């Protein structure tokens, strides 16, 4: 399974860090960084990720024509020019959920980053089945049992105050 920590390790390793330094940058313990770095460098998921990114990096190194902002819209999408809304101005988000939703829906973003954003957003959008405490579950079960049985608790009487003399 390719986790975010493994991804950070692979990216740090690709940027030229040693295995131990890449493990530290990925968040592994100082004491175990050397052994973790050695182990992770042989991990099949990380090796595949580095190969895939390495091939993509070689394709990016090919010389491209000089493209100005005004003729970028005329070029096909396969040319590698991405237009950003607002002429390169970064959009600011007040709500972290809006930011995660934007990252998840951004087709230009790497698929792993999009999946990580979706995973981070998931608990805020959907609750787990059975989420809630024991008391909530017990009260819900009692209501179901009371409504299904003729021996269930009766509704309390309605008290009406009559102040007219």
Encode the chain (165 residues) as per-residue pLDDT tens digits. Answer: 788 888 899 888 888 889 999 999 999 888 989 998 999 989 888 888 888 887 766 554 444 444 434 444 443 443 343 444 444 446 777 888 888 888 888 888 888 888 888 888 888 777 676 667 788 888 888 888 777 666 666 777 888 888 876
Residue with tokens 């070029």: 75
Q: In the numeric block, which tokens belong to residue 17?
A: 């860090």
pLDDT at 83: 42
- Which domains are seen in the chain, by residue range? 4-59 (1.10.10), 89-124 (no CATH)
pLDDT at 72: 41
Nearest to 42 by CA among 16, 19, 26, 11: 19
Q: Is 35 exposed, middle or buried (0-12, 13-18, 19+ CB in 10 A)?
A: middle
Decide: helix, strand or coil at residue 138. helix
pLDDT at 97: 82
**Cα 151 from Cα 26, distance rounded (Å):** 61
pLDDT at 109: 83
């Amino acid at each position: 399974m390719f986790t975010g920590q493994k991804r950070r390790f692979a990216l740090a390793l690709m940027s030229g860090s040693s295995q131990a330094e890449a493990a530290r940058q990925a968040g592994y313990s100082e004491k175990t960084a050397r052994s973790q770095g050695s182990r992770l460098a042989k991990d099949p998921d990380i090796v595949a990720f580095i190969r895939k990114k390495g091939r993509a990096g070689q394709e990016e190194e090919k010389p491209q024509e000089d493209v100005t902002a005004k003729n970028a819209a005329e070029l096909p999408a396969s040319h590698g020019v991405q237009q950003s809304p607002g002429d390169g101005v970064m959009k600011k988000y007040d709500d972290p959920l809006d930011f995660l939703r934007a990252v998840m829906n951004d087709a230009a973003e790497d698929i792993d980053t999009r999946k990580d954003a979706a995973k981070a957003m998931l608990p805020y959008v959907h609750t787990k089945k059975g989420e809630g405490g024991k008391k909530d579950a017990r009260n819900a079960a009692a209501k179901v049992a009371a409504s299904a049985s003729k021996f269930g608790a009766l509704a309390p009487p309605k008290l009406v105050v009559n102040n007219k003399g």
